Chain A
Amino acid sequence: MNPRILAVTTGRILRQLRHDRRTVALLVVVPTALLTLLYFMYADQPTPPGQPSFFDRVALVMLGIFPFIIMFLVTSIAMLRERTTGTLERLLTTPLGRLDLLFGYGVAFGLAGAAQAAVASAAAYGLLGLDTAGSAWLVVLIAAVNAVLAVALGLLCSAFARTEFQAVQFMPVVVLPQLLLCGLFVPRGQMAGWLQAVSDVLPLSYAVEALQQVGAHAEPTGTMWRDVAVVAGAAVVALVLAAATLRRRSG
């Protein structure tokens, strides 16, 4: 990896995003709009005594899940475009290293995911009265790491898609099982053993657990840091696998 090439590549990807104003607007506005919807959905639900309200519990997890879903989709399509428009082939004939490109995407869309999470968190805490024991900054941090994981998975999956239609189909394949088993719908402890085992190897489960730790504890816990490390580790593994799918020579 070359820091200068990584930096110019990150800048190039962010510049592309900046020219697409509608995408930027959607990235910023949609999570906040959906959280507002969630707020009114749960507005009249009674809160069980001694427990966080439904909105607090669900909105906290959604703050981590929005960047995960969106950055996965954005990255899959962006990388597929690099492959289909020939820019990838050209890049591979330049001094750019494969990891420069992959980490460039990781940094650029990781920053975009962090910005998205920051805006959504500001709205959730400031306007919708989200209440967590821990700091909002930790929520943004976890959401940002989650965004990087989504970018890494998107880069990897784009190697298995020939068309944009196929790339979009990977979203339900990769994201939905993680969402169903992450503990948001059914607490992980109440799942059948084999489902728990599956949940244990899905990285999103750790991101959600980390967020729940922030919800329940005033100070960052050891479990939270371990979970963040697991998510970051999964992102690095996915990036390395994605590098293996990027061949300079093709048939």
Chain B
Amino acid sequence: MEDAITIRDLVVDRGRRRVLHGIGCAVPRGSVTGLLGPSGSGKTTLMRAVVGVQVVGSGSVTVLGQPAGTAALRRRVGYLTQAPSVYADLTVRENARYFSALHGRRAADADRAVADVGLAGAAHQLVGTLSGGQRSRASLACALVGEPELIVLDEPTVGQDPVLRADLWARFHALAAAGTTLLVSSHVMDEAARCDRLLLIRQGRLVADDTPDAVRARTGVDDLEEAFLRLIRAGETREGATP
């Protein structure tokens, strides 16, 4: 089956700084793909390119068979920005209902999305009065509400308690099992093990593009953080040899 996202030689400059140096990768449909890397490595820029709001220097990004940012894709792609992008002066339910209405969904779909992120009890609260973790879940509800085919989530589990984090990951896998594709970024390596596939990015370059098991096998260590460290060191040694 055709991949949900295909990226070829993607180069992005922000200001005078090159943020992505020729990234190439594919994200298979119906899977949870983790985009991992330290803060400032280019994860958000890559996600913005996928949802079509990033000015791209060169290369191509194809999403669900169409160039990223095509008008028809806006109904099929959901995006969670890193900072919670919901209206602080609306309630959780009003936010979810607004975004669901933009996607042509009913109010009941919005209420279900709110319940899915564990905010049913806070549905009538103004987003401005919520805790940081609740606020980012309200934002997540607004990304899920249109039941998009591709969901791009920029650090969705930051600041969530461990039980909720486990619930959210279970939810992501349930969505993937139903055919949805998820691209989820994180800077926490312990989340890598929860993904079907991993993209490790560092300083705008792709360091690994594989399943967690394959990464472990290639590096000979069980711990993914240690495995990534080895991959990065190996890459630096190679670069050092050919400056």
Q: Please report A residues at the B interface, Cβ cutoff 8 Å.
A: 4-5, 8-9, 12, 15-16, 19-20, 85-87, 89-96, 248-251
Contacts and interface: CB of A to CB of B under 8 A. Distances in A.
A151 B79 CA distance: 29
Given A12-B87, A95-B74, A90 B81 contact: yes
Given A9-B102, A90-B142, 9 more contacts: A4-B101, A12-B90, A16-B87, A85-B85, A90-B81, A94-B146, A95-B75, A95-B103, A250-B54
Nearest to A249: B55
B229 interface: no
B53 A250 contact: yes
B10 interface: no
A248 B90 contact: no
A119 B188 CA distance: 55
Given A249-B54, A251-B15, A95 B104 contact: yes
Contacts of B102: 5, 8-9, 91, 94-96
Interface in B53-88: 53-56, 69, 74-75, 77, 79, 81, 83-88
B224 interface: no
Nearest to A94: B102
B205 to A, nearest CB: 20
B83 A85 contact: yes
Nearest to A20: B89
B85 A86 contact: yes
Contacts of B54: 249-251
B52 interface: yes
Interface in B96-148: 98-99, 101-104, 126, 142, 146
Contacts of B89: 16, 19-20
Given A85-B83, A251-B55, A15 B90 contact: yes
B47 to A, nearest CB: 10
Contact of B69 (A5, A87, A248): A248
A12 B98 contact: yes
Contacts, number: 76
Contacts of A95: 74-75, 102-104
A96 B100 CA distance: 11
B14 interface: yes
16 contacts: A4-B101, A5-B102, A12-B90, A12-B94, A19-B90, A20-B89, A85-B85, A86-B81, A90-B81, A92-B53, A94-B102, A95-B103, A249-B52, A249-B56, A251-B14, A251-B54
A3 to B, nearest CB: 12
A90 B84 CA distance: 10
B51 interface: yes
Contacts of A94: 74, 99, 102-103, 146
A8 B99 CA distance: 9
A17 B183 CA distance: 35
A87 B86 contact: yes
Contacts of B15: 251
A44 to B, nearest CB: 45
Nearest to B15: A251
Contacts of B87: 12, 16, 87
A12 B91 CA distance: 11
